[in-house]
Amino acid sequence: MRAGFLERPGAHQVTTDPNVAAILVTRFPTVLHLLRTGAAWPARRAELPSLDELARRDNGVAVVDGRTSFVRRHATPSGDVFVKVYEYVTWASRLRGCARRTAPWATPRPVREFDALQWLRQHGFHAPAPLLAAARRRLGFVAHAVLVTAAWPGQPASAVLPTLPVVERNALANAIRQLLSELHELGFRDRNFDLRNLLVQRTPTGWHIAKIDSPRHRFVRPGTTGDRLAAADWRRLEPQLAACECTP
């Protein structure tokens, strides 16, 4: 077992008894504890550094650098992986996120993203394969949270749409609208449906579109499409398409 891991062999979804979790938090405050693992993780794990090393800003190729989060790309023989890390290094930052993702009773953001990717893939949608979600806690509060995913071929729709001729641009915009309609029909409410969170890949017959970054997703009864969460997804998407001069 690599340093920095607490893992049950073969588990795709890791659950921990609350009493055990309390012991881990108290005795091993620097350990990144695995909360989810994907089916491909055991094979990919052997190609990567330890999780503690993956979670460092100075490892990998920089993709995004934010004040409280960052994304790094790592090359492996089986293909690239992306590592997204959320940092809550001060008690002030942990308490600010307490109501959402950092409290002892809250689900860390990478777990929500992992579950969304897994649901999308299970229902036939394009999405990167989630490999693991992990968190390090201090006195029960999340101090670091990590999501590792396999790379998916494609570029953000926000970057691709403005470069396309009008006809192709509108075709891609309509494909994006169709994707959102299909998600809603199955009861999935993304609540983070931004063009930058859609990876698009041109195919001989049109476009493949993968959804990423869905930590705020919710589920409602399938077949319901007129609820306020569905309307909020459309209100979020359409101004972005209009800004790219996409017509309905």
163 shares its domain with 184: yes
202 shares its domain with 131: no
Q: What's the pLDDT band for 145 if we cut at 50, 70, 90?
A: very high
CA distances, 246 to each of 69, 165, 174, 243 (Å): 31, 11, 9, 7
35 shares its domain with 142: yes
Domain total for the chain?
Answer: 2
Domain annotation covers residue 8: no
Whole-model pTM? Answer: 0.84
Owning domain of residue 141: 18-150
Please state the rounded mean pLDDT for residues 22-26.
37
The residue among 103, 118, 150 that closes a domain is 150
CB 113 within 8 Å of CB 129: no
**DSSP structural state of residue 187:** T
Give CA 160 to chain center in angstroms.
Answer: 21
Domain containing residue 224: CATH number: 1.10.510
Domain annotation covers residue 9: no
Q: What's the pLDDT band for 139 if we cut at 50, 70, 90?
A: confident
Q: Whole-angstrom Cα distance, residue 189 to residue 227?
A: 10
Domain annotation covers residue 81: yes
Q: Whole-angstrom Cα distance, residue 174 to residue 168?
A: 10
How high is the pLDDT of residue 31? 78
Domain containing residue 54: CATH number: 3.30.200.20
The residue among 129, 150, 171 that closes a domain is 150
Give SS3 for 236: helix
Looking at the predicted structure, is the pLDDT value of residue 55 above 60? yes
